[in-house]
Amino acid sequence: MLTKKDLNFITCLHCENPLSFYGTEKKAFLYQGVVVCKNCDKHWPVKNGLLYYYNENKVQGTDRMMRVLYNTFAKLHDPAVKYLLPLMHYRTETAFRKDFFKELKLEDLFKSKKKKFRILEVSIGAGANLDYILPHVPKAKELEYWGIDLSTGMVATCEKNIKKKGYKNIKYFLADAHFLPFKDNCFDRVFHIGAIGGFNDPKKSIKEMIRVAKTGTPIVISDEALHDPKNRNLYEKAMFKFLTFYDRNPHAPTECVPENCAHLKVKPISNFYYCMSFKKSA
Ligand SMILES: C[S@@+](CC[C@H](N)C(=O)[O-])C[C@H]1O[C@@H](n2cnc3c(N)ncnc32)[C@H](O)[C@@H]1O
Ligand SMILES: [Zn+2]
């Protein structure tokens, strides 16, 4: 959900100019109406508190197909990651997510003198990663957590989870990872888990993550890659194939990271998942 003030932070998908909201608010959140570009008059709907901020004709290829799956199985996603996935790759959800978050170097942010900071989660899903960040934010710091996703089902589940857990200051809306509607250099951390292998154009989405990150910011990405394939048995190979049916070559997309990014590193966080991290250079 977003407030009118949050709109100052989002730019027009067509001309990158500022936006206005026309419609009704509920408890200061945009509720029903339209978000309109002040310059080019393009508009996007807000329905039941959710901004639909993408151009349908640009949602292409695997993104379209995967959206149907995520919408259909939204409620099952997080329970499956918690209970079924560990039976396939022999690691608990907590263990592999914790290994992932080590690379985001949040403690450096918490230790810095800066009081306020912003994190962007590309593909927030049902919000499972909020639990790995929000409880660790020191009281003296103010975190603005932004999350975008392309699936209404996943975001609706996320909304319920946020309300249930009482998390505050989470700004989420529907948007496409290939077109991040934010200004350049505005996030202190940018991360993504679990979908880039199915993106229509991973290189474009990585370019976008780099663009919106501040210089020196760690950008951390995880998705499926079979670790040490020679030592995986038939069951593991079959499970991996099942999980990545949409991807001909599941791998860490290091080829999409521009050469001027520093500290490019790939580590396995389970037999099925890689964690790729790098820093945005000046
Ligand atoms: C496997 S889930 C992971 C969700 C969450 N990041 C997590 O770690 O639990 C992948 C998510 O990516 C989203 N997604 C897929 N394609 C997307 C796109 N082009 N732009 C934004 N989100 C997308 C899906 O809707 C889904 O919520
Ligand atoms: Zn515009």
Mind listing the pLDDT tens digit for each residue in 135-192?
999 999 999 999 999 999 999 999 999 999 999 889 999 999 999 999 999 999 999 9
Cα 57 to ligand 2 centre (Å): 17
* Cα distance between residue 34 and residue 20, in whole Å: 8
Residue recorded with tokens 């499926």: 224
* Cα distance between residue 53 and residue 55, in whole Å: 7
Among all ligands shown, which has an atom nearest to the Cα of 19? 2
**SS3 per-residue string spanning 125-136:** CCCHHHHHCHHH
3-class DSSP state of 232: coil
Cα 123 to ligand 1 centre (Å): 4
pLDDT digits (tens, 9 = 90+) for 206-254: 999 999 999 999 999 999 999 999 999 999 999 999 999 999 999 999 9
Among all ligands shown, which has an atom nearest to the Cα of 177? 1
CB atoms closer than 10 angstroms to residue 185: 13
- Which numbered atom of ligand 1 lies nearest the CA of 192? 6
pLDDT digits (tens, 9 = 90+) for 106-127: 999 999 999 999 999 999 999 9
Q: Give the confidence band of 130 by pLDDT, cuts at 50, 70, 90.
A: very high
CB atoms closer than 10 angstroms to residue 27: 8
Pocket of ligand 1 (CB under 6 A): 63, 66, 70, 123, 125, 128-129, 148-151, 154, 176-178, 193-195, 199
Best probe residue, ligand 1, of 150, 161, 207, 244 (max atoms within 8 Å of C-beta): 150
- Which numbered atom of ligand 1 lies nearest the CA of 70? 25
- Which numbered atom of ligand 1 lies nearest the CA of 151? 25
Q: Can you list the positions of beta strands (E) in 169-242?
A: 170-174, 189-193, 218-224
- Which numbered atom of ligand 1 lies nearest the CA of 54? 20
Full-model pTM: 0.97
Please report the pLDDT score of residue 282 as a whole number: 78
Domains and CATH numbers, the chain: 1-53 (no CATH), 57-279 (3.40.50.150)
Please report the pLDDT score of residue 185 as a whole number: 96
* Cα distance between residue 100 and residue 150, in whole Å: 22
State the Cα torsion 92-93-95-97 to the nearest 10°: 160
CB 256 within 8 A of CB 202: yes
Q: Give the confidence band of 262 by pLDDT, cuts at 50, 70, 90.
A: very high
Cα 270 to ligand 2 centre (Å): 43
CB 144 within 8 A of CB 119: yes
Reference 143, options 178, 104, 192; nearest CA is 104
What is the pLDDT of the chain when averaged over all its residues? Answer: 96
pLDDT exceeds cutoff 90 at 281: no
Which residue's alpha carbon is nearest to atom 17 within ligand 1? 150
Cα 180 to ligand 2 centre (Å): 14
* Cα distance between residue 190 and residue 210, in whole Å: 8
Which residue's alpha carbon is nearest to atom 15 within ligand 1? 195
CB 272 within 8 A of CB 88: yes
pLDDT digits (tens, 9 = 90+) for 64-95: 999 999 999 999 999 999 999 999 999 999 99
